[in-house]
Structure 1
């Protein structure tokens, strides 16, 4: 099969391919404590729904995009409840798009279409394997895969491969053997979750209003302190530092007045929590906007280009100089990012050319203050405009210290080939937004399947990105209105009221991995795909091994018994100390399960708040491994979705 076609991403169900997207049948927000939708939130949601699917500019990159061949070596192996595909890598590919067609008489019957795992965003994946759980048990399919050189372009499909029909589950779960050599030298374990986390705009730290009876600013700060203390997160990226609610810019008698008092207040709070800001430079102050009525979100962030480019540059220089004066050379370690998702019309009222000008003017203004400060972009939706920005920078000399972009619903694409191809091999890669869904108020955000999604994405990104920033820390988040109830499908890792969701537990589990990654060998039905493992060793000799069962297929977010597996974890040369198991699944650490059993309504009663705290921690339980011939074996039943952290204590003192 030959030819190239558009859309490595999926544009379906009336949505755009970026972040923070429309509601999914849930209320767009609520008057605090009342569960009603405020007028501002309702208006914002309607505007969002009308405009989110429209791009600022549909064009891809302007230069030569490589015409990539399809991947070679495609195989498709059916297992209980799934088909695992694998293929050989294609140089210069940023990802791969899996296609499927029904069969008739052993041949494809109808066109191949991308497998839609319902992530709601880019469907291409960066790895050379894919697990399809969207098919019907007992029905065979034909598969083909294309390489993706740039997110708006998909290469030619390769020759199709027919997979045997995945059998239905009719017995005990299949067994996957996972083997770890504790004495292996290993390699440094990369932690893409640690550099950065997302947050609601930081002016909310100053908000004394309540949602669900909880003070917004105090709980948002508590959530940020918690991710710093328990996960080791180092920086926070948030929108709207130049929004008028912080009063940074106004014009008096036609002359600009800068006031960074509000910025100081929120950054002082953030730094007091041990976190530094990622300074997203936007939105536009109303008095500086060419069209101040063009806004986004319930809080009406202005998305217009400036009416005066010189005054915009002066504002950026003044901000950066002020931060250096107030916080000293620590600011040299901060990242300054230009705007947010200008490739979506809902976030940018100008043209692509005007945004490229905005980027260049802003980046040069930052560097005017101190050339050592890192600046980058395009901070785009769905990996868009990356090629275009780098081509612009190569042509004009505009500085790009890092490339930032966003995707949801799949692991982040591998943009290293793009950086090499366009002459920026040393630029850092920052995925400044990433998550299980781009959709506001989506139930997948609250349950255990999002935790296994997070683990798979972090495992995929380790070693090839500099930061993978989950969007966002807290459910105190009001882009389309304040939360109408406790479990409303909010983006937050932590609920209103401070209860950890399963995604937050997954981050805490990742934080318990050691600094040395150990090799893992797996075999059996579901190995290296449906079941994944990440093994590590601590400096004191203790071991931590994460094992999880997951699928990108969001139709399985409530679990599928056919995808459960029995895992036999064997560790050779282990430290010989005690062994504990920590579980995360729908029965362990899932606040949605517990809330359902308690009969929680929109907001918990005082007694229910107390009871919900049982979901806020994950207890570790001691187990006795079978030990023979220097190999310790632990048998685990891992449901889908489900995670198990197995920890081997370091050896005790000798002598």
Structure 2
């Protein structure tokens, strides 16, 4: 039994909900994308959203002609208007290179984002200034000053930046940062958006920025915990390191930058997940929710934000998905089916601001009105050979609840046998294109199991004895019972027979 103290140990950081990832920019023009984002915002409420391709040809910003260049913001305006209407702001990523401004033909992804330096650095600077100035003009300076502006994506990897040329990226960052600051000195610009394991890149970037006195307001990098890809038709399997590996990666930038001019800057993990592949079935499982639970509970100790990659399976880096469940990054599938990890985030959104206790399998919080909210999870085994049913886990807590004789306890959980549409889809025979009735069944199966009870309060405390199934994540909400039952009420009257 864990005795949870009355006094808080601190505030619960909301770094987990600061930002969420998305597929390429123009996907936001689709109705199903906006419907999915609206659902996510209702249940979770992220503050920012980040994705690739703002300046790629699919968005059509850079439009050269024989008399010069026109910057067209038709799609940009529609997408940003939709974001703001849903209560979420853009975390702006500047990339990739418009084909007509690119110095080469190298592209990345099925949708062919160009990843070569500009053939004209002046042309690139003018494109950046025009884009940022347009955002300021349309949405107001006070608003856009709140939007982080990140320069490129994973330039330390050759697929994302030609030859992973460090010097060329440093020049890109310098030109871009100055262009942003020419629009307004208080706009937030940062980078270098590095993939995991790039400590040397980060250190040399810090030296470059300091030596050249280049503007920088935040540092960004990414975190993933999967091993080499083992490809199968239309999918990928990978080993996973323990979830603590993600927390180690979160902590790495501050350790690397200690003693440099960048020490003390906000650190944003602008992408994180278990696997870096958008076709790894682990993303769809109950295992995944339990795996990431300690990361969401503890990640705010290390960074200012960590952005889940991504909110939806509407994501086409390796092509259009071939099945409803295909291992996509999303918290939601196409057609808005909620995955277990979606519910992990929705449970986090219902926690209180005061943290009372945190352990390897639980997080206890309190709301301002005294209600308690407990997140508990069954630790996972990354060395296991299956993600199916197995031994359960028990969490026993004594939690404080002052001024009540009884407590109302509401519990919602997901796991191998609850809130797990993927498992039901597998039981159906993995239909590639489920029919309407099958979609309805999957939608029902995707919801958490909920149950309710009334427990006694003894000496201002409530005992919660939580038996968790394998890979279960559970939310328990505890509130004081204010009993308004009439004094004349008796259950024996229900059949109209009176007291007997």
Instruction: State the Cα RMSD in Å.
Output: 1.9
Deviations 1:534-567 (Å, cap 9, x if unpaired)? 11001111000111122361645604735x3222
Measured in 1, the distance between the counterparts of 2:197 and 2:209 equals 17
Instruction: Give 2:92's match in structure 1, choosing from 279, 297, 300.
Output: 279
Instruction: Give 2:11's match in structure 1, choosing from 176, 188, 191.
Output: 188
Change (3 A) 1:557 1:408: farther
Give 1:597 deviation, angstroms.
3.1
Contact 1:444-1:557 at 8 Å conserved across structures = no
Deviations 1:256-280 (Å, cap 9, x if unpaired)? 3322222112211222222111110
Report the structure, 1 or 2, having the larger helix content: 2
Moved more, 335-344 or 408-417: 408-417
Measured in 2, the distance between the counterparts of 1:612 and 1:395 equals 56
Measured in 1, the distance between the counterparts of 2:170 and 2:80 equals 28
TM-score, structure 2 as length reference: 0.87
Give 1:471 deviation, angstroms.
0.3
Moved more, 487-496 or 635-644: 635-644
Corresponding residue number in structure 2 for 1:200:
23
Corresponding residue number in structure 1 for 2:52:
239
Is structure 2 residue 57 aligned with structure 1 residue 228?
no
Give 1:227 deviation, angstroms.
1.9
Question: What is the SS of the residue equivalent to 2:63?
Answer: strand
Give 1:297 deviation, angstroms.
0.6
Contact 2:108-2:115 at 8 Å conserved across structures = yes
Give 1:418 deviation, angstroms.
2.6
Question: What is the SS of the residue equivalent to 1:519?
Answer: strand
Considering Cα pairs closer than 8 Å and 6+ residues apart, tell me whether 1 or 2 has the greater RCO: 1
Is structure 2 residue 367 aligned with structure 1 residue 538?
yes
Corresponding residue number in structure 1 for 2:147:
334
Give 1:411 deviation, angstroms.
1.9
Question: What is the SS of the residue equivalent to 1:473?
Answer: coil
Question: What is the SS of the residue equivalent to 1:229?
Answer: helix
Matches within 5 A, 1:561-600: 561-562=390-391, 564-573=392-401, 576-600=406-430
Measured in 2, the distance between the counterparts of 1:504 and 1:557 equals 21
Corresponding residue number in structure 2 for 1:408:
224
Q: Unaligned regions of 5+ residues in structure 2, if any?
A: 226-244, 485-500
Change (3 A) 1:450 1:251: same
- How many residue pairs were aligned? 456
Contact 1:179-1:571 at 8 Å conserved across structures = yes
Deviations 1:471-514 (Å, cap 9, x if unpaired)? 00111110110110111111111011111001101000101100
Instruction: Give 1:218's match in structure 2, choosing from 31, 45, 50.
Output: 31
Measured in 1, the distance between the counterparts of 2:481 and 2:111 equals 55
Contact 2:409-2:476 at 8 Å conserved across structures = yes
Change (3 A) 1:483 1:416: same
Q: Unaligned regions of 5+ residues in structure 1, if any?
A: 1-176, 207-216, 521-527
Contact 2:407-2:456 at 8 Å conserved across structures = no
Corresponding residue number in structure 2 for 1:294:
106
Corresponding residue number in structure 1 for 2:329:
491
Corresponding residue number in structure 1 for 2:351:
513
Instruction: Give 1:382's match in structure 2, choosing from 196, 202, 211.
Output: 196
